[in-house]
Structure formats: C-alpha cells, structure tokens
Structure 1
Amino acid sequence: MENAARLSQVTNSYMKHTFSPASDNWGFIKFIEKSKIQGSPFLENDCLTIRCLLTVTKESRTQDVETNSIVVPPSNLHQDFGNMLHDGEGADVTFTVCGQLFHAHRCVLAFRSPVFRAELFGPLRENATECIKIDDMEPMIFEALLHFIYTDTLPDNCKDGKAAAMQHMLVAADRYGVDRLRLLCERKLSEAIDVETVSTTLALAEQHHCSQLRGACIRFMASPDMLGPVMLTDGFKHLVASCPLILKEVLDEVSRIWRDKSS
C-alpha cells in the first residue's frame, strides 16, 4: 500500500505531460530518479513497466462549420398591412371620394396621421355609421395616400414620379400631416424640375411651406440661361400673379450668382 501510494505520488508529480503543436521537442524534458522507483512492483529484473493514460482531443474546427446558415427573410410587415387594406377585413371606416368608396381601419389611419386622428377620435370625430365624404381630391390620389399610410411606400403607378401626380400627392400629404410622404414628394418634384414645371412647382412649394423644394426651384430659375425661357411659360405668369414677392427672391439669387462669378 505504501509503495502504491508512493508510486501514485510520483506519477502525478512527474508523469503528466501535455503535448501541443507549439512544442519544439518530441520527448519529455524531465526524468525520474532511479532511487524513487526502486522497490516498486513495476520494476522487476531491471525491467520497468510503464502504464500510460493517453487522452487525445480533437480540435474543434469551427471554421469549417457554416455558422450563418439560418436565412432570415426581410420584413414583410408592409406587405401584410397592404393586404389588410386591399382585403378590407376588419375595416371600420368608409370614405367616399368623388363617388368612389374606400374602406380602411381607424386605428391605422389615426396612428399614421394626426389629422385622421382628430377626425376619427377627436371631439369632432365623424359618425362611425356614416361615410366620410371627400369631394376635393381625386380618387387615385386618395388611394395612393392610403397605400402609403399602410405600407410606407408609394404605389407602383406613382413611382415614375410624374410631376402632376406628385404635386397632388404633396397636397394630400400636407393636408393629412403625413410628413414623410410630403418630403418624398418634395424630393421627386425637385428631381423632375424643368422649364415647364418649375414655376408651378415653386408656387406649390410656397403655398405648402416646402422650404427645400422652394430653394431647389429658385436655384433652377436663377441658373444661367434659365430665367428667360421660364419667364415665357404660362406657369411663370401664374406664379407672378399668385406669389408676386417670390420674383424678388429669384432676382436676388440671380444677382448672387453673377457676383460669385465676377469675384
């Protein structure tokens, strides 16, 4: 028993070793003194019996495992809301726009538009059993407005950015306080500015307080060789009649451009 205990102690002290790829030797750098194993039952006739417990661990090769194999599809929340508008399931409010009926959901409209919130849930809210009548907007524009409120995107028939449709959409967005749609219309209108449309677009921007679109129109009109052709259009005549003070700002911008060129 004493020899066994002594051997166990010797084994634990000297015989445990971990080999690693970083090691620069193939052996064990320490040896056991002969005096420490004399009398051991494992030493007989100058022959030493060695029992080795060898544990082999395989390195985990995580680099070979594709960790991002789970594909998460993009959000389709806007599609679900678009389907809800299209199907009309659960709709609790009806609009009649120039004789065309549109069904919608009060809670969606209220959370997306402060004007709808006041109309549907405010002190002067419309009667839930009656249609809300809108006669001063084209059905196509109101349909596009509802589509944006539900999906936060423009319908396909408005994505070409035609100036007339975008102008009507901007008016609707401003009327119902849908700010992101208003800014989106501003950007599309600013990208479509030309000699024929700049005056009407500027008048619209002035009327609905669209400062960024207003500035883009003034810069276009004041750019070299543009003011003359613009002044010949019917839109410019309407602009001068409806917003006479805007002409001074255009001329001031022209003067600034010429000063910058001459300096």
Structure 2
Amino acid sequence: MPTKTHVKTASTCHPPETTQGTHIFDILGYSKHRGMGAHYSIRSGVFSVAGHSWVIFFYPDSYGEEAGGFDFVSAYLRLLSTRGKVRASCDLRLVNPATGASTSVHPTLVTVREFDPDGENHKACHCLCMISRSELEGTYVKNDRLTMECVVTVRKEPRVSKSRTFPSVKVPQSNLKRQLAGLLESREGADVTFSVAGETFAAHKIVLAMRSPVFKAELCGPMREVGSQPIVIEDMQPDVFRAMLYFIYTDSMDHDDDLARDYHSKNCDMVRYLLVAADRYAIERLKLICQSILCNNLDVQNVATTLALADQHHCDKLKHACIEFMSCSENMEDIVLTKGYMELARNSPSVLADAMLKMSNVSKKLVRRALQNAPDSA
C-alpha cells in the first residue's frame, strides 16, 4: 500500500503599506475664471505621491450635463503616470478663509479606488467634489481667492512572504502485516504444530486463540490436547489450511499470486474450501469475504452448487443472493440442466423446495414493482 505524503506550507500577508501626500492648490482671481463654459478647467501643477504624478482639474462653471447646469462647480483628480494601475483614495478639503481650517467636501466618500492611466478616460480620473456655487462662494471664497487641499493616499500591494515548508516527521506505513506473516513463516516462538494431509504447520497458540474461538477452546480450554505431537487436521487440504493460517495472522487473503487470481476468477474452488474452513473455525470475517467473492462470481453453472454450500454452512446472505440470481435469470432452463442443480435436487430437496418458494415470492415482488412503475395506460 503506497505511503501517503502530506506537506504543510505557510505564507504571511503583511498589511499593505500606504504613502500619503497633500497638494495645496490656490486659485487667485477666482471670478476671472467664471463664464468660460462648462468644459473650461483650471489645472493645478503636477505633484507626486508615491512616485506617481497627479494633477487636479477644477471646473468653475461645472462640468457635464450631470451637474445640472452652471449652479455647481466640480474638481477632478487625474493620474498622469503610465507605470500601471494605482490604488488610491483622495480627499478634497476646502479652506475656510475666516478660520484657516480645512473641511472635507465628501468625508463619507473617501474610499480606495483603482486609477488606470491606460484605460478609458473615466478610469484615470476621480471626481473630488461637486458642490453648489452658492455654498462654495459664500463660505470658501474670500478676496477672490479659493484654496483647496487635496490629500492623496496611495495604497501599495500587500507584501506576501515566500511560502515556507513546515518541519515534519515522516511516519512509515505500518508493517505489522509483514511482521506477522514473517512470524508465521519463520516459526520463531511457535508452540503448536498441525499435521494436514502429511504436511506439518507450526503456529502460535496465542494468535490462533485470539482470532478463532474454536482454536481458543481446543488450545487453551479444559479439553486442550497436551503433548508435543502435532494436532491432526482431518478433511482439509494443506493449501487451504495454509491460506487460513495466513489470514489468521494477517487478516488478508493475498498470500500468493496464484491464490489471489483464484479469489477473483470464475474458478472459485479454493474460495469454497476456505469458506468451509472459516465456518469450521468460526473465523467470521474470512467467512464473509468468501461469501462476497462467491456472490460476485455467480453464474448459471455454479449458482446451484453455491446455494447448497450456503445452506450447509449457514450463509444466509449468500443463500439469498443465489435465490435472487435464479429468480432474475433468463437461463433457468440451463440452470436446471447443471450438475450442481441435479445434486441439489437429489441430496437437498428441502433446500430446493424452499428456494423455489422464495423464488416465487421474489418473482411476484418483481412483477408487482414493474406494474407500479409502469405508465398509466390510456
């Protein structure tokens, strides 16, 4: 089984740096600029903030139809640099000549926006204010002079550190299965031996007792056999006993390639023998695995034989699967002609009769379900 590798990395985003600059724009002879038309503007000197060039455009007779005629004045900030997009906020403050204090025209609208000198005209400009002439001239114009302060705050891109890898401790894949298989193969510390059809197997009582209640009773109970002679196992082939021992130690059936191919092929004789052995020694997980393999490989030739095996060894789920397979099969005539079906009819007529009854019930359910799902006839 491949080892999973997990790499943990991290990076840090620092708060974005900002650079702020204030440009004071004095307009002398304010009245001299009146009456020049909506498109007439007064341009400030170019000033620099964060290495970018900016300029203010003031329209004393408003600008554009959205201003509603000449009752308004407006001011715009424009980015002149061509070094790419800039994120900035701008605040226009008008100086009250009576107090010398400056007041933001739109304090709630000072938000960061993107200036794009390479984009359309409106993307390079930002409206600083649009204020009524009466308010402007009544409060902020004195001695024909208007003073404004434009505060530009450039927001730089946040600085993100390089990703760094967290130190980690690699844990290898568990090798318990391999160690237990090696323990079985090496026979080190073995304290019990079995003789199966003339072949001897060494094992460990504690492992067998832990995995099988039958072995526990035979090896550790009051009826345990005492002595050093091998315990003789009747009615079992050495390959089957070997495969069962391997499963007991490793909880796996992949002892060798030939056996693994048998597990997943149509030739399931070894699986049948293992099921019998698992039932004999009450190794329930092995018994269920064998049932699953046999269920997945049901066909016309083996379904009757598998049904007899399932009934004999109390495999209710496998037995139900065989009956359902026979009920749904379109080749029932071929099933009847198989050797397994003939042996089932001869040796276990009650099993066959019970199966036929259940097949009838299953067929009725299928017919009823089909009728329920069929569209209403006209």
TM-score, normalising length: structure 1: 0.74
The residue identity in structure 2 corresponding to 1:103 is A
Structure 2 unpaired stretches of 5+: 1-13, 22-158, 373-378
Q: Name which of 305, 309, 314 aligns with 1:209.
A: 314
Aligned residue number for residue 332 of structure 2: 227
Indicate yes or no: 2:348 matched with 1:239: no
Q: Deviations along 1:173-220, whole A, 9 cap, x unmatched?
A: 111111111111011101111111111111111111212211211111
Q: Which amino acid aligns with 1:255?
A: K
User: Which of 79, 89, 107 pairs up with 2:178?
Assistant: 79
In structure 1, what is the equivalent of residue 190 of structure 2? Answer: 91
Structure 1 segments, 4+ long, off by >3 Å, are 20-27, 59-63
- Aligned-partner residue type, residue 209 of structure 1: H
Residue among 158, 171, 175 paired with 2:259: 158
Secondary structure of 2:195 counterpart = strand
Higher percent of residues as strand: 2
Using CA pairs under 8 Å that are at least 6 residues apart, name the structure with larger relative contact order, 1 or 2: 2
What secondary structure sits across from 1:103 in the alignment? strand
Size of the alignment, in residue pairs?
212
* 1:203–1:239 Cα contact (<8 Å) kept: yes
> 1:125 is matched with which residue?
224
Contact 1:96 1:133 in 2 (8 A): yes
Offset, 1:258:
2.9
Counterpart of 2:276? 171
Q: 1:62 to 1:119 in 2, by over 3 A?
A: farther
Render the CA deviation track for 1:22-71: whole Å, top value 9, x for unaligned. 464579xxxxxxxxxxxxxxxxxxxxxxxxxxxxxxx9968412444x33
Residue 243 of structure 2 is matched in structure 1 by: 144
Tell me the secondary structure at the aligned position of residue 144 of structure 1: helix
1:135 is aligned to 234
Instruction: Provide closer, same or farther for how the CA distance between residues 224 and 104 of structure 1 changes in structure 2, counting only shifts above 3 A.
Output: closer
Structure 2: how far apart are the matches of 1:152 and 1:125? 25
One-letter amino acid matched to 1:189:
L
SS at match of 2:200: strand
Give, in whole Å, the separation in 1 of the partners of 2:359 and 2:318: 14
State the match for 2:164 in structure 1. Answer: 64
Cα deviation for residue 21 of structure 1 reads: 3.8
**1:180 pairs with 2:285:** yes
Cα distance in 2, alignment partners of residues 179 and 103 from structure 1: 23
Identify which of 349, 366, 375 aligns with 1:257: 366
TM-score, structure 2 length as denominator? 0.52
Match of 1:104 in 2: 203
Does residue 198 of structure 1 match 2:303? yes
| Larger proportion of helix | 1
Q: Distance in 1 between matches of 2:335 and 2:367?
A: 18
Relative distance call for 1:133 and 1:255 in structure 2 (3 A) is same
1:55 corresponds in structure 2 to none
